[in-house]
Structure 1
């Protein structure tokens, strides 16, 4: 049995884990990272990157199909478009391969030792790893738990056969003729809309009364409109009850309490993700929990000294960039730097069609916190760049304090607004006021001008509306 000693051990090489290890290596910390699967975790291999690749493919195909139908106002036409999902998946896998190879290279460049295998705690300082080359024992001064999350199952509809998770949906080699999506959160809508744009008949079943329940209705309205344009059937206030054993159809209880029977090639279950808190010896530790998640303080320290936890295993929002920020912070804490965790400026992006971005507080959240606020939005119908891209649906909205104009939140819905998320987050991080955004010269013609105009409107003197 081999034994390794190190100053920092990271369990899990997803976005949070590998960033933590790379930063620790840069700081001269003797670091080991353990991963049972591919480096990059779910996000890089079966989540964020593959799904955005599929969304891009769907958008490109929809453009071509529209041109073939002869309904383009741009004077462009063509005929006979075709689509090969297996080739698209091959292209997507190529991107994933390039990125995973890149992450492995960055870890080696930072002098991080990579151990492939399943890690399990013996105690708070000792981890045993089962690998292809045998059993290894790793003793560490500090340990970071970055085990991530996995798709949640529905009782009565376990994964297998025609019932798939987002991971399997991103690896299909043949386009399903019909798809039932269970859950109208961001994962279900992103993938459901992508398949609909590729020509699949899509039905979305959601237990809540509206899509994207965590977003305010003003932001989700353009997405719901687009779902109708794509021919996606929405069953809101409905619950999936199981598959008919003989016919293989999906049984759904509608909002009216009636039974609907959906014939579909696949059932995509997207009812959330659950933290991976089992299988790595948590029972050998004394960790305080916060429901399903590991409880951490503002430095991502658990209830046990020298053990940290980052990413999805620590709670919402379960976002890759949150995990990355936590991982970088923990590495610096281990190196002796003073760092604290603040999640107020984390952007959330929903890659639907159109996209949604939120940073900070919504108007409702600000009012619930007792704030007197100013709220203003600027529509893309008045933005020149949006017009030239045939992307006039949506708006940018700013929420600010009424007294000193400090920006509390920024939201947007529209084509490509994900790329505005960095500017939004930076404004909140730097403590911008409405005057700061209004006084910043924004390039013309860009969609970013809508951000500028929203601030001007909140101050009472918009220029282009």
Structure 2
């Protein structure tokens, strides 16, 4: 295979990598991107997109069951629904394939060369790509490391047999009759909730004192209540010690030394993800590390000239939209544009039931930073649109500086609320104050009105509460 020389080389075709390649191609750089999987990375292929598809399918099935058994709206009746999980998984795979083809088309449109195979650095300017058809040497002026992340494996519960990661969880042929989820972060709660709605008996095991540790207790409380209503057992302060006995039950231990055996047909381990910093020749480079991550500056340049790192390998938050923003920036830097990574806020969303949005500082984080705040909290129990949707749990909370009312953070929890994250993030990114949010006319009746009402409350001028 012929050697390739290019201006811009991207290792990894996940959200950060493919966006970097597309933007570089659009800017006229001779660009190559390398990956041994279909474009889209973990997020598109085995993460964000397929999980949201299954979550939505499970939601729809659960609503149909509720309508057949006990519809929340008097006068409506429905027939008993059916569930063909194999067909649901096929529908999910179809969405993923469409998006794969879409990304491939965008790369082609930007004149980016896609090389299939595993890349390994020979030095700071050259990689060797190995594929089924042979090896190929690629040299570049600028190289971007976008190798993403992978599930963390528990030593006591190695993947295999009934113990699976989220990747296998998204392709199960049927909902397990008894599912144990080890890890109460957002991935575990999202998938555990989906399988509970699809008919599985679900138990969530979390070593910490509370689930969803990225979010404060006030936001997590409605999720806990919903899990209880769905019949999901949540065991906090409990560790999974491995499989035991002929039936391979899950052995659980508590801090007081107590033990419990939990019968499970499938054990889904979702204790977190780690950056992929091995297997691509990092030892051939001179890179500084920041814990498990590659250390970068505010342009995502590493310790080596011409070598950048973006996405999950470059540090928290390990989110696709953060990687995309970094990828676009690095491509523009390579094309000669002055850029640096300095967002005011990066939204974090848990697609649980109800959904959680957190953008910017929480009240506790602002207090820890020594900032005196004004806070407004508006419950959806007082929102007309939420009532008409028969889901009025949760609230919107606005956190602002007490002195000048600059908005520092916005959090919310309720059903189907994730789309409001754009408005929340934009308010903070644009430097909005409470009066800006309160003075913006919000459409009625919408759940977005709760943001305006929370801002009114923070200024001491609440209208509907």
TM-score by length of 2: 0.99
| Mapped partners of 1:91, 1:250: distance in 2 | 32
Aligned residue number for residue 268 of structure 2: 268
The Cα of 1:161 is off from its aligned counterpart by: 0.7
Asked if the contact 1:235/1:254 (under 8 Å) is kept, the reply is no
Aligned residue number for residue 190 of structure 1: 190
The Cα of 1:338 is off from its aligned counterpart by: 1.0
Asked if the contact 1:206/1:235 (under 8 Å) is kept, the reply is yes
Instruction: Give unmatched runs, 5+ long, in structure 1.
Output: none
Aligned residue number for residue 98 of structure 1: 98
Aligned residue number for residue 228 of structure 2: 228
Aligned residue number for residue 241 of structure 2: 241
The Cα of 1:245 is off from its aligned counterpart by: 4.7
The Cα of 1:460 is off from its aligned counterpart by: 0.9
Asked if the contact 1:236/1:255 (under 8 Å) is kept, the reply is no
SS in 1 for 2:155: coil
The Cα of 1:404 is off from its aligned counterpart by: 0.5
CA RMSD in angstroms comes to: 0.9
Aligned residue number for residue 160 of structure 2: 160
Partner deviation per Cα, 1:155-187 (whole Å, 9 max, x = no partner): 021111100000000000112101000010000
Aligned residue number for residue 65 of structure 1: 65
Aligned residue number for residue 120 of structure 2: 120
The Cα of 1:82 is off from its aligned counterpart by: 1.1
Asked if the contact 2:7/2:30 (under 8 Å) is kept, the reply is yes
Aligned residue number for residue 145 of structure 1: 145
Partner deviation per Cα, 1:404-445 (whole Å, 9 max, x = no partner): 000000000001111100000000110000011011111111
| Mapped partners of 1:268, 1:212: distance in 2 | 16
Partner deviation per Cα, 1:336-365 (whole Å, 9 max, x = no partner): 111111243100000000000000000011
Instruction: Give unmatched runs, 5+ long, in structure 2.
Output: none
Asked if the contact 2:343/2:429 (under 8 Å) is kept, the reply is no
1:170 to 2:174 alignment: no
| Mapped partners of 1:224, 1:70: distance in 2 | 22
1:288 to 2:277 alignment: no
| Mapped partners of 1:396, 1:339: distance in 2 | 34
Aligned residue number for residue 133 of structure 1: 133
What does residue range 5-404 of structure 1 map to in structure 2 within 5 Å?
Answer: 5-404=5-404
TM-score by length of 1: 0.99
1:422 to 2:422 alignment: yes
The Cα of 1:2 is off from its aligned counterpart by: 1.7
The Cα of 1:315 is off from its aligned counterpart by: 1.5
Asked if the contact 1:349/1:357 (under 8 Å) is kept, the reply is yes
SS in 1 for 2:7: strand
| Mapped partners of 1:142, 1:165: distance in 2 | 34
The Cα of 1:72 is off from its aligned counterpart by: 3.2
SS in 1 for 2:70: coil
Asked if the contact 1:299/1:339 (under 8 Å) is kept, the reply is yes
| Mapped partners of 1:420, 1:164: distance in 2 | 33
Q: In terms of mean alpha carbon deviation, does 343-352 or 84-93 score higher?
A: 343-352
SS in 1 for 2:115: strand
| Mapped partners of 1:225, 1:294: distance in 2 | 39
The Cα of 1:71 is off from its aligned counterpart by: 3.9
| Mapped partners of 1:74, 1:442: distance in 2 | 30
Runs of 4+ off more than 4 Å: none
SS in 2 for 1:377: strand
The Cα of 1:74 is off from its aligned counterpart by: 3.8
SS in 1 for 2:160: coil
| Mapped partners of 1:169, 1:131: distance in 2 | 28
SS in 1 for 2:321: helix
Partner deviation per Cα, 1:99-153 (whole Å, 9 max, x = no partner): 0000000000000000000000000000000122221100000000000000000
> How many pairs does the alignment contain?
465
SS in 2 for 1:261: strand
